[in-house]
Structure 1
Amino acid sequence: MAKLKWGMIGGGEGSQIGPAHRLGAGLDGAFEFAAAALDHRPDEGRAYGQRLGLAADRAYGSWQEMLAGERSREDRIDLVTVATPNATHFEITKAFLEAGFHVLCEKPMTMTVEEGEDIVRIAQATGKICAVNYGYSGYSLVRHMKAMVARGDLGKIRMVKAEFAHGHHADAEDADNPRVRWRYDPAQAGVSAQFADCGIHALHMASFVIGQEAERLSADTVSCIASRELEDDAMVNLRFDGGAVGRLWTSSIAIGRQHGLTLQVFGEKGGLRWAQEQPNQLYWMPLGERLQVIERGEAGLSPEADRTTRVTIGHAEGMPLAFANIYSDLAEAIRADKEGRAMDPAADLYPRAVDGLRSMAAVFAVAESGKADGAWVDARPPMFR
């Protein structure tokens, strides 16, 4: 079977996210890295692309040059990943969708709710995939949690508790560090800092696992380091459209926390607990029974978990492999579209443009509620109200 052709915008030399995408896209052999515009500096981007093995005529100097070059080729890319600074996501994603390309966009998909609604409508009108890289939803046991909830193992879901709290921005002496400062500057980051950066990952994972969307929320936001204009800590209460209650804490000043993404789900018949830093274990407590530890790769798991497990039980699988599961989903979706068939339902789990839109609506709702001393506000995008 011929490989699909994949391209990347952003993620150049020294990028934090670029290598994870290149590892994830290439891991299963479904995609060939065929084209890229890796740097805002044209010469550096072209040179780095060629060092990574790209042909000289497909190592582009800008995304505009890449769009013009790829749209005219018979062997054009099947999928492009957008991993540029946040404020550029909308323009690039829109341009490639309208030119007939499938897109995987890093989060946040857009900077405003209105832009998010535009992307959803464009994806619907073109029939092209617009995925958003909520990559943590690719973990095998996160998908097994979703399967357990969907088949009723927990009964009716009562509450979900999500956290994404770290302490890597806790030093007030870093106030002028440009790698930190921009995150708390409204001119560069928008209306939210920590919730928009990390909180939306926790919210997406909660919605993904329980199969419910945030309907209303109340937020307490604070800048614990006084020089910051935007929040570095937020506590958000949520009400989901299926009746579940949500509690979400996100922080960048939690000294002692490293990554800090965790999820707990409590239903009528049992509870689940998972942490990204120990992704191979899922803790399951059925009502009235003993605590059980579910291991990634063990026998008897769901098709969704089995499909996303590559190495044998007891060996670690980490974030690049979770990204690889998103790319595996997308490869299956693109091949199914090319072949005119239904895709494997166990692979139909990649985050969509609507997820990116709902996240941006939640960002603005958290900012609004935080300024109003925690008033309850509508968390839904206008087009879904």
Structure 2
Amino acid sequence: MTKLKWGMIGGGEGSQIGPAHRLGAGLDGAFEFCAGALDHRPDTGRAYGQTLGLAADRSYGDWQEMLAGEKAREDRVDLVTVATPNATHFEITKAFLEAGFHVLCEKPMTMTVEEGEEIVRIAKSSGRICAVNYGYSGYSLVRHMRAMVARGDLGAIRLVKAEFAHGHHADAADADNPRVRWRYDPAQAGVSAQFADCGIHALHMASFVIGQELKSLSADTVSCIASRELEDDAMVNMRFDGGAVGRLWTSSVAIGRQHGLTLQVFGEKGGLRWAQEQPNQLYWMPLGERLQVIERGEAGLSPEADRTTRVTIGHAEGMPLAFANIYSDLAEAIRAAKDGRPMDPAADLYPRAEDGLRSMAAVFAVAESGKADGQWTDARPPMFR
């Protein structure tokens, strides 16, 4: 099978996210890394791209050069990943969608709700895929949780509890560290810091697993380190459109927590618990029965879990493999479109532009509610009300 062609913007040398994307995109052999504009410094980006094996004429100095160069090629890339600073996502994603490229954009997809709605409309009118990298939804057992909820194992969902709390920004002495400072600066980060950075991952996972969309929320936001203009801790109460209620805690000052992404789902017939730092185990408690531990890779799981299990049972699963599952979904979607056939339903789970838009609407609702002492606020984008 001919490989699809893949390009990347951002994710250069020293990037936190670039290697995970390159590992994920290349894992199955579905994509070939063909083009990139990897650094905001043109010469540095060109040089680094070539060290990764890009041809000199496809190792670009910036995204505009890459757009012009790839548009002119018959063998243009099929998918472009946007892994640049947050404020640039909208402009780059919009330009590549309008030029006919499929796009996977890092979160947050945009900086405003209005920009998010525009991306949704452009993706729809162009017929191009616009995916958003909520990569944790690629974990095998997260997808099995979704399948269990969908087939009714838990009955009606009553409550979902999500957390994404870490302590890596807890030192007040780091206030002037440029790697930390920008996250709490409204001029660079927008209206929210911790919720926009980590909370939306927890929110997306909750919505993804229970199959319900957020309707309204009440938020308590605080800057535990007083010099910060934006929040470093938030507690959010939520109401979903299918009747479930939600509780979400996100923090960057929780000393002792490392990554801290966890999800619990409680229905009328049972409950589930999963943690990203122990991704191979899913805890399942059926009503009136004993606690069960579901192991990733064991027999009898859902098609969604089977398709995304990459290493044998008992071996560790990690974030690049979760990213690889998102890329595998996208490869299947692109090939199905090219072949004029339906895509595999077990692969039709990649996060869409609509998910990115809903997340941005939630970010603004949290900011608004936090300033209003927790007033309940409509968290839906205007176009979905």
Deviation digits for residues 45-100 of structure 1, max 9, x if unmatched? 00000000000000000000000000110000000000000000000000000000
Deviation digits for residues 167-197 of structure 1, max 9, x if unmatched? 0000000001000000000000000000000
SS, match of residue 316 in structure 2:
coil
Aligned-pair distance for 1:339? 0.2
SS, match of residue 358 in structure 1:
helix
SS, match of residue 237 in structure 2:
strand
Aligned-pair distance for 1:138? 0.1
SS, match of residue 128 in structure 2:
coil
Deviation digits for residues 233-262 of structure 1, max 9, x if unmatched? 000000000000000000000000000000
Deviation digits for residues 118-163 of structure 1, max 9, x if unmatched? 0000000000000000000000000000000000000000000000
SS, match of residue 253 in structure 1:
coil
Deviation digits for residues 8-55 of structure 1, max 9, x if unmatched? 000000000000000000000000000000001000000000000000
User: Deviating runs (4+, > 6 A) in structure 1?
Assistant: none
Alignment of 1:185-264 (within 5 A): 185-264=185-264
SS, match of residue 32 in structure 2:
strand
Aligned-pair distance for 1:325? 0.1
Aligned-pair distance for 1:4? 0.1
CA–CA distance in 2 between the matches of 1:87 and 1:9?
Answer: 14
Deviation digits for residues 305-324 of structure 1, max 9, x if unmatched? 00000110000010000000
TM-score (norm 2): 1.00
CA–CA distance in 2 between the matches of 1:83 and 1:99?
Answer: 18
Deviation digits for residues 357-377 of structure 1, max 9, x if unmatched? 000000000000000000000
Aligned-pair distance for 1:165? 0.2
Aligned-pair distance for 1:268? 0.2
Aligned-pair distance for 1:282? 0.1
- The equivalent residue for 1:72 is 72
CA–CA distance in 1 between the matches of 2:39 and 2:257?
Answer: 32
Aligned-pair distance for 1:270? 0.1
CA–CA distance in 1 between the matches of 2:290 and 2:250?
Answer: 30
- The equivalent residue for 1:97 is 97
Aligned-pair distance for 1:326? 0.1
Q: Does 1:337 align with 2:337?
A: yes
Q: Which structure 2 segments of 5+ residues have no match? A: none
Report % sequence identity. Answer: 92
Aligned-pair distance for 1:218? 0.1
CA–CA distance in 2 between the matches of 1:132 and 1:293?
Answer: 31
CA–CA distance in 2 between the matches of 1:16 and 1:216?
Answer: 33
RMSD: 0.2
CA–CA distance in 2 between the matches of 1:71 and 1:306?
Answer: 37
Q: Which structure 1 segments of 5+ residues have no match? A: none
- The equivalent residue for 2:291 is 291
The count of aligned residue pairs is 385
CA–CA distance in 2 between the matches of 1:159 and 1:225?
Answer: 31
CA–CA distance in 1 between the matches of 2:227 and 2:40?
Answer: 30
Aligned-pair distance for 1:206? 0.1
Deviation digits for residues 191-246 of structure 1, max 9, x if unmatched? 00000000000000000000001000000000000000000000000000000000
SS, match of residue 7 in structure 1:
strand
